[in-house]
Amino acid sequence: PRTPEDLQGHACIHDTNHDHRAIWRFAQDESVAIRPRMMVNSARAARDLAVAGRGIVYGPDFMLGPDLAAGRLIAVLPTLELAASSLNLVYLDGPALPRKLRALIDFAAKDLRSLAINTKI
């Protein structure tokens, strides 16, 4: 594929945790509705299927990066990045935030900032 629209004619592996409607969104305000060959509910399963040569996968660098670096996967649209997404933490309000929860929030915020999360297809 040379454009996101070209993905419609390829064997795509869709992780339903991204979007049950099988729409792949890109940072460049582009999106494409794919016709998945396979649908899974695990980024790891989607990656494993792509490594096995079963199709094209859409996912974050932290999941696909090692396989891209090792040559087990090839970026098919390397100039495109996935659309940014948000992460929310919901907890009960109270007079004092438990130290365990504060530690988790601080760790997650630091870890996510350090990743500078890029995503590839």
Question: Helix/strand/coil (H, E, C) string of 57-78?
Answer: ECEEHHHHHHHHHHCCCCCCCC
The pTM assigned to this predicted structure is: 0.73
Report the pLDDT averaged over residues 36-60: 94
The pLDDT assigned to 119 comes to 45
The pLDDT assigned to 116 comes to 54
Residue 117 has pLDDT above 80, yes or no: no
18-27, 43-52, 97-106, range with the lowest pLDDT:
18-27
Report the pLDDT averaged over residues 108-118: 67
121-to-30, 68, 107 alpha-carbon distances in Å: 13, 10, 28
Residue 74 CB coordination number (10 Å): 10
The pLDDT assigned to 52 comes to 97
